[in-house]
Structure formats: structure tokens, C-alpha cells
Amino acid sequence: MKYHFLIMALNEEKNLYKTYKELIDVIKHTNIKNYKIYIIDDGSVDKTFEISQKIKKINKRVILRHNQKNLGIANNVKKFVSTSPNSGKLILISGDNDLSKNIIIKLINASKKSDLVISFFTNREMKGIFRAFLSTMFNLTCCTIFKVYAFYLQGPFVWPLKQLKKIKIFSNGIAYVSEVNIKLLRSGLKFNEISGEMNTGSENSTSIKFKNFIDIFFTIIHLLIEIYVKNKFKKISKRA
């Protein structure tokens, strides 16, 4: 099984090498032999790309991608999926060293037994109590409406590329993770859910923004139409 690690970096000159080094430690610990690391500099104005180039020189399995302007995580993931191989597992790593080694190890180990792995943070209060409350309410709403059963839909993940490439991702913002997880869960994939801790706290959080609420709202509307309206018309058409 091949693993594709996607490191997203925007102005992460202080954290990028540490993120890469900890990922290499995890790869060695979990005995992964077949992997590639993609570092995506999403329009940084600091020395992020120069650090990426230095990393590539010491590891031939590192592939660099540089965006002249910021595309955002969701659009970079969609772009990667559209050009990626049809097999293997995708793991997204934040360039700010947000994920602890422990949770990445758990994600990898769980992915060896399941098609899909989702996760939740046990220390979500680090992002702020208000954000933790909003996340809980959003998750409960999605699980209830779309009849999926997961503790947290927005956490770090391991996605199977073969099934992922069959999905059309609507969201261009923060809700893309939940959208994909809902679609994959409803497809009947074997999944596992693990827990772990994040490294960074609320000072790095940018999720409570008006544009993110807009993205969440329209993503939920899109899912309602795709899952319930379109599927209902398909069933009617088949009967006819």
C-alpha cells in the first residue's frame, strides 16, 4: 500500500522542517516503505519554498508544488486528487505542526485495517471553547441529517484515493473534510475512528470566520440536494 502525505504550508518557515522531520520519524516508526511526500507552498511570502527545496535535496521522495497565489486547502486537495494515482491512501499534514506524532501513528496503523480512517482531538479546547462548541453542534447536525455515525467529521483523516476520485467535492472551504467523510461513510466503506491530541492552540485558529459559516451552510444544502433530492429522482427514473 502506498501512502501519499500532503503537507500544506502557508508562511510556515518556522514550522515546516519540524513538521517534515516528525513525519519522517512516524514513517520510520510505522515501517512504511512505499510513500511520497508532497509539500505544497500555497502562496507563501516568507522562506517556506526555500526550506521546501532544502528538504527535497535530502529526500528524493519529496515532491514540491508552488502556488503563485493562495488557493486554500480545499482547492489544493481537489487539485491533487484530480491528478493523483488511482490507488493508495491520502493523509493531509498541516505545515504548522498541528498534528502530534501520536495521532499520525494511530491514523496510519488504523488505515492498515480499514478503508477510511477519521479522528477526533481529545484536547479540542485548545482551539477555544466557543469553537469546540460550534464544532460539536455542526457535527451533531450533519450526523443527524445525513445518517452517519461518527464522533467528529472534521478531524484528521486517511482517505482511499480510489474511492475519493469518484467523489465530486463541492466545498471550497473548511467544510470539505466533513463533506468527503459523509460521502465516503454513506458509500459503505469499512472505517475506523481514532483519537489523539493536537499540538497548537487557539492562537493559530482561523476557523471562526464569516466565510467559513457561508461555506458550511452551502455545503449542507449541496449535500441535502445530492443525497436526498437527486437520489430520489434517480430512483423514480429507474422505476419509470
Of the candidates 91, 17, 86, 87, the residue with the CA atom closest to the CA atom of residue 51 = 17
> In angstroms, what CA-CA distances link 124 with 65, 120, 121, 238?
31, 8, 5, 46
Of the candidates 171, 160, 174, 180, the residue with the CA atom closest to the CA atom of residue 222 = 171
Provide the residue ranges of all domains of the chain, joining segments of one domain with +: 3-239
* pLDDT score for 130: 84
pLDDT by residue (tens digit) across 130-158? 888 888 999 999 999 999 999 999 999 99
Asked if the model's pLDDT at residue 238 lies above 80, the reply is no
Q: Which three cell numbers stand for residue 51?
A: 526550506
Q: Is pLDDT larger for residue 235 or for residue 141? A: 141
Q: Is pLDDT larger for residue 218 or for residue 135? A: 218
| Domain 3-239: homologous superfamily in CATH | Spore Coat Polysaccharide Biosynthesis Protein SpsA; Chain A (3.90.550.10)
